[in-house]
């Protein structure tokens, strides 16, 4: 039976790698990256995947080989070794993984800093980030855009809910807040995730590069309706974005119901 | 342990497992969903819902004949409801892979309950309670008085949610999904109103069975009378006033015709003298005034308090709860009574919407079902009858300007309500 | 030696006369009975936790469809479908039960209790009464968690991590109304039980080793239990304190974890000035070391099993000991890696990232040493060995997937997705639970005097192994798709719509996995009465416990064990047999002359 069990354990790396390849082939894989900042994260993911993949196959393969070769029923089994270890080997397999891990640790720092520490400069006159305030609450996302005065927190602010419009190819700076419990602002296609903590204001930034609609997911348990806290990120051209703000402005200052013929959807 | 039979055993095990799993999964079908009767109202009508089960049976059967079941809804053409849309929204949730049905149970039932009674499993934890559709009372709408809302009103509530309550936004539903849900909400309202009419009718016409005291033919006659209800279409449409449900039905059909007429807001375009600051100032006076020689004010201060933070502390209930009697009605499914607190206007959270238009509706029409009265009496004294409406409208617009600006007053930055809690304007 | 033996017999007889059934089997102070009590209780809870897991899986495969059996057994909301809050209950209580009522007590409580005195050659624990209490304090905890299912408002539903304000504010979740208080009390009681256990284990291991049993002759199991006890002793007070803080926030209106201006469910609270992140720091300060509490003992037991059935000394015994100790140190400075996207200062995140990368190292060393043990061995494929081997194989997966999370930028993407779920199930189920199964098959003959059925054991192994990989490996792919945890209906989102078939596959694997445990349950009970008589040392192992009768009587050994060597001297050239028990005197020394006497008792 030793051969059977060895093969069963061999199936682990074989099927494991195969299932990843299958997922990749069938596009049951990372959601498409629609951002300028996501590439670096994906690159790191694949880098670690390759590294761990190699280690995975080697260790599982070695395990299979030992199981196959040193099966007590196997006729070709060499005599049992009476060894308590090997100092050299221990040193090697301490130093090599340590160096590798340290390398990964240092290698990724820059990406982390880009995503969480190097906040876009509001004073950058060339390409100022688009600032939007996001307030999470049970169980919806509320968005607040600066009005004509370009400052958030004044009487002319514009409000929407669940549909976040952003212009393409601009740096978006989200001021993330929560009104009640913890939520998490997760844009899978932008590779962005940040918990919203009541009492704190978290900056989140990303640069969408593709026009279209993506999901905005709440990724931190926020109560029984967690699953229905679904938002949508709508990336549009600068012109469309301006148009959207304009229609929001019109809607929000309405003093009359529009005539039936001009009825539009609520922006 | 390594006998040649080794591989037979896993096979045996797998088979027995499969049998077990199939057995276990086959016996779990849930019972079909049912509407609950409005026992609280039945009791308020004067009947004992616990002692007299037969009356409930008649009522339930009648309603089923008129409106079907949660899995298979039905509506008479006279109701004006679209059955295809109802079917889309009703029933158990299906279609995770494709077109969804059972939308009401997917999105609404946890709070609003299967009968639309606003008492779903989650309801008791929410503040304010979810809407009970069964009276046909709606708060945030563009129609006059207590008239039902228009489809557009319901759609707005679904799209934007109700800030400051547990009602979230459902704007990501598809257009047709949204329509189906709206139709179903109206269906639940119509059904609930019809139920109230019917139970009132039953209360008036019911012959209680008292066994020996009644002669057999009397019982027969009583039964016949109730069977007439059971057969019901004609009875409902032709009955005397108490059961005349088509009045409610027509109200719903005619909601669009009862829109509040809004006169244009004074603005710079119209009136070169108009200044926002001035308008706000007038609004402030109206807000705090009840009566003065010059003008009949809004008197908003009476409830919203001198701070406009809704902390006058008076005990008031909304219309859904004011008649609920603790304990005995709780046993019949009523939610525990809860005091309704006037809004703290300084938070900047406007439940019915933040547009000037929305605020106008609230002030002009009051909030249906709550102690918030309408503002139709606001006006200058001695004004000609023909100009009353224009004057009233103008003054309300001033109040709207004041209210819109309230959250941005410096003192609203961090406002402390009476219970000691603080509310950041930031928490919009 | 003969006099000592006679004394021991007399001692045992004296106890035997005075002992009633209650004091022997119920309120017993005998570490073996207590261990077996822990084992039975935790296995029962294991079943409950498994059913809850099936509830989760059912909803993910057939969202909002009537749930067979479990839906009926517990609750069914309006319209015959589960309510979304019930889904949150399912995963909250699944994790709670599995972590606090199964894994931690089965490792430390069941095996720690049973094995420590036997393996170090002591006649019982240092504090038998404390030991008994450590078991009986589990019962109020069982009551708390059990009765929390029936509180008004429903069972706890804020996740096993009970993050405030969701867990603290009564209006935030239905389960936060009442049940959360019971949950926190239950947690405290489990903590008290663990604390009593760990004090006892530390004292016993330090003070009560048999003559000749030096620290570096301890089996890996004991080393692991020792380090586990250290971790418990230092980390638990923090959790207990944090739990009480949360309890006070909930009951007497303090505001440790609640910020100012909080509006939940349209009601605001008067307390304020607290910080939700504080709870996360305190919670993970315990719960990260707890992750090692949940795996180290299994690692120890697996090392013993592998060495025994490879018939070869454990490769690199001392590096193994050092790496376990290294985990104990590093384990206290990595908690922040649960909080990379929580709003914690990102610079702090970077620090935690480096320490987290480093803690992967001891695990790597251990894995290589297990492989080294297999190399050149004489591998016997018994059921316990298969489970132990699968532990190693699965732990490789669980360990490697951990590196993805340690890499902070990647964690931004995979945090709170099924990638994490895959990772900790590979560590905790495919790792620890498989290790525990191996340990049960291995020490069962010692506990009950009979062997478990080998063939059915292998069937159990085969099915569990296949189904667990079917269930958990697929989760990596879900995670790569950013499929989030804890969503009652993820198919609301377009992004996750295509993952339904994969989830159905996993659900059926999970059902198969739980069903396979029925084989184990039957084997477990049946063998107790009908299994072949084991004798003292059925596996020809070296450890002290195998020198005692099966099952050992009160006082454990019918002779005074004296230890001459480490526990892994298989195939030693000094003797003709392929095993060389720790108590067997070397050929060239005279008996009764132990080489050293460290810790006489």
H or E element at residue C464: helix C454-480
* Least confident stretch, B318-332, C18-32, C483-497: C18-32
CA distances from C272 to A180, C255, C261 (A): 13, 5, 7
Give the best residue of B2, B28, B115, B177 to mutate against chain C (max C CB count within 10 A): B28
Q: What share of chain A is helix, strand, coil (3-state, %, to 5)?
A: 40, 25, 35
Among candidate residues B324, B327, B304, B326, the one with its CA nearest the CA of residue B314: B304
User: Average pLDDT in the C301-322 region?
Assistant: 96
Kindly list the partner chains of chain C, i.e. chains with 3 or more CB atom pairs below 8 Å.
Answer: A, B
pLDDT category at C3 given cuts 50, 70, 90 is very low
Taking only the tens place, the pLDDT of each residue in C203-213 is: 999 999 999 99
Only one residue has tokens 């279209």, namely A212
CA B31 to chain CA mean position, Å: 27
Coil/strand/helix, residue C186: helix
User: Average pLDDT in the B337-341 region?
Assistant: 87
User: Across the strands, what pairs with C417?
Assistant: C484
Are C325 and A179 spatial neighbours (Cβ–Cβ below 8 Å)? Answer: no
pLDDT of residue B26: 43
CB contact under 8 A, C68 and B25: yes
pLDDT at C393 over 90: yes
Taking only the tens place, the pLDDT of each residue in A36-55 is: 999 999 999 999 999 999 99
Q: Which of residues 347-406 of C touch B (CB under 8 A)?
A: 382
Give the β-pairing of A140-145 and A183-187.
unpaired
pLDDT of residue C12: 44
C504 or B41, which is more confident? C504
Among candidate residues B145, B197, B420, the one with its CA nearest the CA of residue B309: B420
Measured distance CA(B121)–CA(C152) in Å, rounded: 11
Extract the tokens encoding C14.
Answer: 């004296």
User: Across the strands, what pairs with A217?
Assistant: A186, A230
- Which among B267, B357, B427 has CB closest to A179? B427
Query: DSSP class of residue B339?
Result: P
User: Average pLDDT in the A142-164 region?
Assistant: 89
CB contact under 8 A, C266 and B164: yes
Taking only the tens place, the pLDDT of each residue in C259-310 is: 877 777 776 666 678 899 999 999 999 999 999 999 999 999 999 999 999 9
H or E element at residue A26: none
pLDDT of residue B421: 43
Q: Which of residues 146-175 of C touch B (CB under 8 A)?
A: 153, 171, 173-174
Give the β-pairing of A172-178 and A130-137.
parallel
Helix axes B175-205, B151-160, angle to 10 degrees: 120
pLDDT of residue B411: 74
Measured distance CA(B247)–CA(B236) in Å, rounded: 11
pLDDT of residue C68: 67
Among candidate residues A84, B261, A26, the one with its CA nearest the CA of residue C369: A84
B126 or C99, which is more confident? C99
Are A56 and C396 spatial neighbours (Cβ–Cβ below 8 Å)? Answer: yes
User: Across the strands, what pairs with A216?
Assistant: A231
CA distance A262 to chain C (A): 31
Coil/strand/helix, residue A177: strand
Measured distance CA(B297)–CA(C582) in Å, rounded: 97
For A25, nearest residue in chain C (alpha carbons): C477
Are C451 and C527 spatial neighbours (Cβ–Cβ below 8 Å)? Answer: yes
Q: Is C265 on the interface with A (CB under 8 A)?
A: yes
Residues of B in contact with C76 (CB under 8 A): 30
Coil/strand/helix, residue C345: coil
Percent residues over pLDDT 90 in chain C? 77
pLDDT category at B238 given cuts 50, 70, 90 is low
CB contact under 8 A, B259 and A257: yes
pLDDT at B227 over 80: no
pLDDT of residue B285: 87
Kindly list the partner chains of chain A, i.e. chains with 3 or more CB atom pairs below 8 Å.
Answer: B, C
Are B74 and B67 spatial neighbours (Cβ–Cβ below 8 Å)? Answer: yes
- Which among C66, C266, C491 has CB closest to B96? C491
User: Average pLDDT in the A238-245 region?
Assistant: 95
CA distance B227 to chain A (A): 44
Measured distance CA(C306)–CA(C567) in Å, rounded: 12
Q: For the CA atoms of C179, C181, C184, C185, what is the dihedral angle to 10 degrees?
A: -110
Classify residue A19 as exposed, middle or buried by CB count within 10 Å of its CB (0-12, 13-18, 19+): middle
Tell me the range of B102-111, B406-415, C72-81, C354-363 where mean pLDDT is highest: C354-363
Q: Which of residues 429-448 of C touch A (CB under 8 A)?
A: none
Among candidate residues C376, C300, B343, the one with its CA nearest the CA of residue A65: C376
Only one residue has tokens 């990638």, namely C419
* Least confident stretch, B134-138, B239-243, C64-68: B239-243
For C499, nearest residue in chain B (alpha carbons): B97
Classify residue B31 as exposed, middle or buried by CB count within 10 Å of its CB (0-12, 13-18, 19+): exposed
CA distance A126 to chain B (A): 30
Taking only the tens place, the pLDDT of each residue in B41-53 is: 888 877 776 666 7
Coil/strand/helix, residue C591: coil
- Which among C153, C266, C270 has CB closest to B420? C270
CA distances from B195 to B38, B242, C195 (A): 8, 11, 61
Q: Which of residues 90-109 of C touch A (CB under 8 A)?
A: none
CA distances from A49 to B35, C395, C404, C408 (A): 54, 17, 8, 14
CA C201 to chain CA mean position, Å: 16
CA A15 to chain CA mean position, Å: 26
- Which among C270, C456, C515 has CB closest to B20? C515
Among candidate residues A58, A44, A57, the one with its CA nearest the CA of residue A103: A44
H or E element at residue C530: helix C500-530
Which residues make Cβ contacts (< 8 Å) with residue C497, sequence separation at least 6? Answer: B97, C491
pLDDT category at A260 given cuts 50, 70, 90 is low
CA distances from B372 to B112, B297, B306, C445 (A): 23, 15, 16, 77
pLDDT of residue A39: 95
Classify residue A91 as exposed, middle or buried by CB count within 10 Å of its CB (0-12, 13-18, 19+): exposed
User: Average pLDDT in the C232-242 region?
Assistant: 94
Measured distance CA(A62)–CA(C601) in Å, rounded: 45
- Which among C64, C269, C459 has CB closest to B106? C64
Measured distance CA(A1)–CA(B7) in Å, rounded: 11
CA distance A63 to chain C (A): 6
CB contact under 8 A, C79 and B114: yes
Query: DSSP class of residue B414?
Result: E
Mean pLDDT value across chain C: 89
Only one residue has tokens 């009480």, namely C244
Residues of B in contact with A256 (CB under 8 A): 262, 264-265, 357
Torsions phi, psi for C35 (to 5 deg): -60, -45
Measured distance CA(A124)–CA(B173) in Å, rounded: 39
Residues of chain B in Cβ contact (below 8 Å) with chain A: 2, 6, 107, 110, 122, 142, 152, 156, 159-161, 163, 166, 168-169, 171-172, 259, 262, 264-265, 267, 354-357, 360, 397, 404-405, 408, 426-428
CA distance between the termini of chain B: 70
Give the β-pairing of A163-167 and B414-416.
unpaired
- What would the DSSP string read from start to end of B372-396? ----TT-B-TT--GGGHHHHHHHHH
CA C305 to chain CA mean position, Å: 17
CB contact under 8 A, B32 and C68: no
Measured distance CA(B52)–CA(B207) in Å, rounded: 11
Measured distance CA(C124)–CA(B344) in Å, rounded: 67
Measured distance CA(C433)–CA(C394) in Å, rounded: 11
Among candidate residues B252, B87, B111, the one with its CA nearest the CA of residue B184: B87
Measured distance CA(C103)–CA(C198) in Å, rounded: 15
pLDDT category at B243 given cuts 50, 70, 90 is low
């Amino acid at each position: 039976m030793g051969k059977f069990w060895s093969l069963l354990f061999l199936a682990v790396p074989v099927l494991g790698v195969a299932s990843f390849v299958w997922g990749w082939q069938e596009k049951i894989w990372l959601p498409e990256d629609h951002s300028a900042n996501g590439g670096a994260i994906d690159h790191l993911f694949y880098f670690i995947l390759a590294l761990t993949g190699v280690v995975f196959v080697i260790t599982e393969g070695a395990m299979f080989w030992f199981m196959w070769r040193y099966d007590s029923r196997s006729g070709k089994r060499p005599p049992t070794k009476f060894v308590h270890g090997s100092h050299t080997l221990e040193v090697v397999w301490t130093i090599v993984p340590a160096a590798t891990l340290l390398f990964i640790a240092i290698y990724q720092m820059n990406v982390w800093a880009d995503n969480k520490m190097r906040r876009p400069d509001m004073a950058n006159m060339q390409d100022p980030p688009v600032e939007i305030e996001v307030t999470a609450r049970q169980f919806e996302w509320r968005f607040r855009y600066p009005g004509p005065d370009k400052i958030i927190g004044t009487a002319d602010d514009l409000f929407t809910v669940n549909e976040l419009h952003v212009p393409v190819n601009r740096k978006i700076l989200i001021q993330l807040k929560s009104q009640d419990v913890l939520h998490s602002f997760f844009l899978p296609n932008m590779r962005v995730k940040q918990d919203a903590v009541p009492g704190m204001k978290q900056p989140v930034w990303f640069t969408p590069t593709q026009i279209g609609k993506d999901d905005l997911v709440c990724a931190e348990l926020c109560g029984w309706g967690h699953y229905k806290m679904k938002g949508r990120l709508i990336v549009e051209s600068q012109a469309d974005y301006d148009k959207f703000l304009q229609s929001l402005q019109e809607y929000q200052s309405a003093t009359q119901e529009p005539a039936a013929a001009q009825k539009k959807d609520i922006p | 342990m390594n006998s040649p039979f080794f591989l037979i055993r896993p096979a045996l095990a797998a088979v027995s497992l499969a049998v077990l799993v199939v057995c276990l999964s086959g016996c779990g079908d849930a019972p079909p969903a049912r509407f609950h009767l409005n026992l609280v109202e039945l009791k308020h009508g004067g009947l004992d819902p616990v002692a007299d089960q037969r009356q409930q049976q008649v009522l339930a059967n009648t309603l089923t004949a008129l409106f079907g079941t949660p899995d298979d809804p039905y509506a008479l053409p006279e109701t004006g409801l679209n059955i295809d849309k109802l079917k889309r929204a009703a029933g158990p949730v299906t279609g995770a892979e494709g077109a969804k049905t059972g939308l009401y149970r997917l999105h609404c039932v946890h709070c609003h309950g299967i009968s639309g009674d606003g008492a779903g499993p989650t309801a008791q934890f929410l503040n304010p309670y979810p809407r009970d559709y069964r009276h046909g009372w709606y708060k945030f709408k563009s129609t006059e008085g207590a008239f039902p809302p228009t489809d557009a009103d319901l759609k707005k509530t679904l799209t934007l949610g109700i800030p400051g309550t547990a009602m979230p936004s459902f704007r990501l539903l598809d257009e047709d999904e949204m329509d189906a849900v709206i139709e179903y909400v109206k269906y639940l309202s119509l059904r609930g109103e019809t139920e109230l009419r019917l139970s009132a009718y039953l209360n008036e016409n019911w012959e209680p069975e008292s066994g020996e005291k009644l002669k057999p033919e009397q019982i027969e006659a009583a039964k016949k009378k109730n069977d007439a209800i059971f057969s019901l279409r004609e009875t409902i449409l032709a009955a005397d006033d108490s059961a005349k449900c088509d009045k409610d039905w027509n109200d719903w059909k005619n909601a669009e015709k009862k829109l509040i007429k809004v006169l244009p807001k004074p603005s710079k375009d119209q009136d070169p003298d108009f200044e926002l600051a001035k308008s706000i100032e007038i609004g402030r006076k109206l807000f705090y005034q009840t009566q003065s020689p010059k003008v009949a004010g809004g008197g908003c201060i009476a409830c919203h308090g001198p701070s406009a933070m809704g902390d006058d502390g008076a005990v008031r209930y909304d219309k859904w709860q004011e008649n609920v009697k603790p304990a005995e009605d709780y046993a019949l499914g009523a939610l525990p009574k809860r005091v309704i607190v006037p809004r703290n206007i300084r938070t900047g959270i406007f439940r019915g919407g933040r547009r000037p238009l929305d605020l106008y509706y609230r002030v002009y029409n009051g909030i249906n079902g709550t102690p918030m009265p309408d503002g139709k009496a606001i006006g200058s004294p001695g004004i000609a009858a023909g100009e009353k409406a224009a004057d009233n409208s103008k003054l309300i617009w001033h109040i709207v300007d004041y209210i819109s600006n309230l959250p941005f007053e410096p003192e609203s930055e961090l406002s402390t309500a009476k219970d000691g809690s603080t509310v950041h304007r930031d928490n919009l | 030696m003969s006099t000592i033996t006679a004394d021991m017999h007399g001692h045992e007889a004296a106890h035997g006369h005075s002992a009633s059934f209650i004091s022997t089997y119920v309120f017993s102070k005998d570490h073996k009975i207590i261990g077996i009590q822990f084992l039975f209780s935790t296995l029962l809870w294991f079943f409950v936790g498994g059913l809850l897991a099936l509830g989760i899986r059912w909803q993910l495969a057939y969202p909002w469809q009537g749930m067979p059996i479990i839906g009926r057994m517990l609750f069914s909301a309006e319209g015959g479908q589960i309510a979304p809050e019930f889904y949150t209950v399912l995963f909250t209580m699944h994790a709670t039960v599995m972590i606090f009522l199964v894994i931690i007590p089965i490792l430390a409580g069941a095996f720690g209790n049973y094995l420590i005195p036997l393996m170090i050659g002591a006649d019982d624990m240092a504090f038998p009464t404390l030991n008994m209490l450590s078991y009986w304090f589990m019962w109020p905890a069982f009551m708390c968690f059990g009765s929390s299912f029936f509180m008004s408002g429903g069972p706890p539903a804020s996740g096993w991590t009970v993050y405030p304000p969701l867990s603290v504010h009564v209006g935030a979740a239905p389960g936060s109304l009442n049940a959360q208080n019971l949950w926190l009390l239950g947690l405290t009681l489990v903590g008290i039980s663990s604390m009593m256990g760990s004090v006892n284990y530390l004292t016993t291991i330090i003070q009560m080793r048999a003559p000749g049993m030096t620290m570096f002759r301890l089996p890996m199991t004991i080393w692991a239990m020792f380090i586990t006890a250290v971790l418990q002793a230092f980390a638990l007070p923090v959790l207990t304190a944090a739990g009480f803080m949360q309890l006070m926030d909930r009951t007497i209106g303090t505001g440790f974890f609640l910020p100012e201006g909080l509006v939940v469910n349209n009601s605001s609270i008067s307390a304020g000035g607290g910080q939700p992140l504080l709870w996360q720091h305190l919670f993970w300060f315990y719960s990260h070391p707890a992750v090692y509490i949940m795996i180290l003992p299994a690692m120890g037991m697996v090392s013993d099993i592998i060495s025994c059935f490879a018939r070869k000394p454990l490769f690199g015994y001392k590096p193994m000991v050092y790496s376990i100790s290294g985990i104990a140190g590093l384990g206290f400075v990595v908690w922040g890696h649960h909080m990379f996207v929580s709003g914690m200062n990102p610079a702090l995140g970077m620090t935690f990232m480096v320490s987290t990368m480093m803690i992967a190292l001891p695990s790597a060393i251990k894995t290589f040493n297990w492989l080294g043990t297999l190399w050149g061995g004489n591998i016997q494929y018994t059921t316990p060995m298969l489970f132990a081997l699968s532990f190693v194989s699965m732990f490789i997966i669980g360990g490697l997937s951990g590196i993805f999370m340690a890499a902070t930028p990647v964690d931004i993407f995979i945090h709170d997705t099924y990638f994490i779920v895959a990772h900790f199930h590979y560590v905790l189920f495919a790792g620890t639970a498989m290790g525990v199964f191996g340990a049960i098959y291995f020490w069962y003959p010692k506990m009950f005097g009979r062997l478990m059925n080998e063939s059915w054991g292998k069937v159990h192994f085969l099915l569990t192994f296949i189904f667990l990989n079917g269930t958990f490996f697929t989760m990596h792919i879900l995670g790569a798709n950013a499929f989030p945890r804890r969503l009652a209906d993820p198919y609301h989102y377009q992004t996750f719509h295509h993952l339904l078939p994969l989830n159905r596959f996993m659900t059926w694997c999970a059902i198969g996995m739980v069903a396979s445990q029925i084989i184990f349950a039957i084997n477990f009970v049946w063998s107790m009465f009908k299994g072949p008589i084991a004798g003292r040392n059925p596996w020809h192992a070296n450890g002290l416990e195998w020198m005692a009768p099966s099952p050992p009587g009160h006082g454990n050994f019918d002779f005074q064990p004296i230890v001459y060597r480490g526990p892994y001297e298989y195939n030693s050239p000094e003797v003709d047999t392929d095993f060389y028990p720790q108590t067997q005197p070397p050929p060239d020394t005279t008996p009764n002359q132990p080489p050293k006497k460290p810790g006489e008792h």
